[in-house]
Structure 1
Amino acid sequence: MPAMPHSGSSSKPLMMFGAEGAGTLASPSNQLWDDKDLELQAEMDRFVEDGSLDDNVESFLSHDDTDPRDAVGRCFTFMEVNSVRASSSKVTCCHFSSDGKLLATGGHDKKAVLWYTDTLKPKSTLEEHSCLITDVRFSPSMSRLATSSFDKTVRVWDADSPGYSLRTFMGHSGNVMSLDFHPTKDDLICSCDGDGEIRYWSINNGNCARAFKGGTAPGTAQLRFQPRLGKYLAAAAENVVSILDTETQTCRHSLQGHTKPIHFVCWDPSGELLASVSADSVRVWSFASGSEGECVHELSCNGNKF
């Protein structure tokens, strides 16, 4: 890793998946809010929704509708393998490292915590953000970790020695909602904010390589690069997922069908399937050759919330 200067001073279960299976992070519903957080409450709806994962799973696994797109809901089950009290406040995001040895969590307490997955003991706590953390991601190829926050910054850390951030990227006018590392370009990271702006950052140079408006609606909630090739960038805003060309930023596909705002998007490891999640449904989209942008599965929550 190139040497980089120091840039700063030293209850709803959240489902997470890794190489060893699935588990949950317990997050209590009673936490203290400061004045700044209260002013931003309108943008925090996707971080504080109530609901029971157990109820949701039972509901959609027992779904009897004959629509073949719903068949995916009867093909898997969830089982809790372990849990850890990650924070005294709400946990909003988590991510496994590519080797499965570390888990990163972040949330309302403005901290990101690294955990050893074999023992579920904390490795280190990252405490430079001044407002709640909205997303946390490991680099797929290097020992790097990135966090985004309502403080309008993105910070990059050395996952092996995260005593302080290696880079702090500033420039977003809105609260930073999400970020992701490019799967093949080690120097490239992207982020999006509540005003709908997407920025590409050069980690090595420490500057903004590109800034543009992404998607067809303001307020991008989450973005994710397509794994392996990184040809596409999926950006969710309102009830639409825009599939952007990573190089040209042109919108190649506009995935429509959700009736409520989309909170999360996730690619499968092959990059041929994309899942989009709103409060009432999950849609799975194909990006295999000959069927790009086609909805191949739809899963209803049957009155509960995802």
Structure 2
Amino acid sequence: MPALPDSGSSSEASMMVSTDGSGTLTSPSIHLFQADMDGFVEDGSLDDNVSESSLSHDDIEPRDPVGQCMDFSKGFTFTEVNTVRASTRKVVCCHFSSDGKLLASGGHDKKAVLWYTDTLKPKTTLDEHVSMITDVRFSPSMPRLATSSFDKTVRLWDADNPGYSLRTFMGHNAVVISLDFHPNKDDLLCSCDGDGEIRYWSINNGSCTRVFKGGMAQVRFQPLLGRYLAAAAENVLSILDVETQACRQTLQGHTKPIDSVCWDSTGDLLASVSEDSVRVWALGSGSEGECVHELSCDGNKFHSAVFHPTWPSLLLIGCYQSLELWNMSENKTMTLPAHDGLITALAVSNVTRLVASASHDKSVKLWK
């Protein structure tokens, strides 16, 4: 893992570096899904009038819209390679297909868009939801994707022929916040809602197979083995046994609500993100549930994260307007200007090695 520089900045990228593991920009922050679920407008979407101006700060420098590049050492670079105006409203989720050829995004305009990743040209638009889309996930084993929405439904789509949804999963009594496909159980889809209810769905017959509690902000299956389901609710991260739904571990340490979680590609590490801290947990044999890395926010609030596809010791953190690159092994960070709004979601393709970022500034960007 290349070392981050100890000090200084690049004039080309307006980078700011700290050696104490803290951020360098300051700005207010908002949670993507407010705890006050009664605060969204009649169509079920969060009010877009929660304006970006309320997030602005006089001491934040204007952002250069062109691609930025950083070179730590030993030839390591991380640069913007493409960008697209993905929506007329805020984008809140994105995900790559398993082969890396498609990227899906969705958000406040109630639509999901499939993009060809090599050109960022749109393939198709999925527009059957009647409220904002909260999450979008591709199946790791089939040409399928699923979307969750404030309209309390989950929809399943054929990625190859996505004209109409294949199924609509109904049963949640609150807005659906997150969903995920199991990595090797082709018939298993999971979703969670704003009341903390988790539902397992049969993809084949469209039925709900199990209902239990424990996830509110985000649910993510452990990759590869799929032994665990990570479920975040308030400031607690639960590790649930996929077979029995028993809670194997309750990971505590966050003081603010957890906004997002992400596994590394091996399924041994799990990162949880709240606005004031990021915690990385070891779930491999012999160290299950141990917090092995922690980064406290000292400036720009955190919101989303993803492990770098090539450097396992590098965690990319989405903040307001910027990406924080955290070298966990050395506990050093670097700030990269990236968007004009909150970076609501990050995704990675282990095939193409691309990273995608989605933002309230209505854009999606690709990085490599």
Settle same-fold status: TM greater than 0.5.
yes
Q: For residues 9-158 of structure 1, what are the structure 2 equivalents within 5 Å?
A: 34-37=41-44, 50=55, 78-158=78-158
Q: Please report how far the alpha carbon of residue 163 of structure 1 lies from its aligned counterpart in structure 2 after TM superposition.
A: 0.2
Structure 2's unaligned 5+ residue stretches are 1-39, 62-75, 303-368
CA offset digits 1:173-227 (Å, max 9, x no partner): 0100000000010111000000111000001111111111126xxxx11000000
Q: For residues 247-286 of structure 1, what are the structure 2 equivalents within 5 Å?
A: 247-286=243-282
Q: Residue 20 of structure 1 corresponds to which residue in structure 2?
A: none
Amino acid at match of 2:274: S
Q: Secondary structure at the match of 1:186?
A: coil
- Residues 246 and 50 of structure 1, relative CA distance in 2, 3 Å threshold: farther
- Structure with bigger helix share is 1
Q: Please report how far the alpha carbon of residue 34 of structure 1 lies from its aligned counterpart in structure 2 after TM superposition.
A: 4.8
CA offset digits 1:36-56 (Å, max 9, x no partner): 346x66xxx9x999479x99x
Q: Residue 12 of structure 1 corresponds to which residue in structure 2?
A: none
Q: Residue 193 of structure 2 corresponds to which residue in structure 1?
A: 193
How far apart in 1 are the matches of 2:198 and 2:79? 36
Amino acid at match of 1:189: L
- Structure with bigger strand share is 2
Number of aligned residue pairs: give it: 245
Q: Residue 226 of structure 1 corresponds to which residue in structure 2?
A: 222
Q: Residue 62 of structure 1 corresponds to which residue in structure 2?
A: none
Amino acid at match of 1:243: I
Contact 1:51-1:305 at 8 Å conserved across structures: no
- Residues 208 and 290 of structure 1, relative CA distance in 2, 3 Å threshold: same
- Residues 197 and 235 of structure 1, relative CA distance in 2, 3 Å threshold: same
Q: Please report how far the alpha carbon of residue 80 of structure 1 lies from its aligned counterpart in structure 2 after TM superposition.
A: 2.1
Contact 2:281-2:291 at 8 Å conserved across structures: yes
1:302 maps onto 2:293 in alignment: no
TM-score (norm 2): 0.63
Q: Please report how far the alpha carbon of residue 259 of structure 1 lies from its aligned counterpart in structure 2 after TM superposition.
A: 1.0
Q: Residue 4 of structure 2 corresponds to which residue in structure 1?
A: none
How far apart in 2 are the matches of 1:281 and 1:80? 25
| Residue in structure 2 matching 1:246, options 242, 247, 256 | 242
CA-atom RMSD in angstroms? 2.4
Q: Please report how far the alpha carbon of residue 272 of structure 1 lies from its aligned counterpart in structure 2 after TM superposition.
A: 0.2
TM-score (norm 1): 0.76
- Residues 295 and 83 of structure 1, relative CA distance in 2, 3 Å threshold: same
Contact 1:239-1:261 at 8 Å conserved across structures: yes
**Structure number with higher relative contact order (C-alpha < 8 Å, ≥ 6 residues apart):** 2
Identical amino acids, percent of aligned pairs: 76
Amino acid at match of 1:265: V
Amino acid at match of 1:208: C
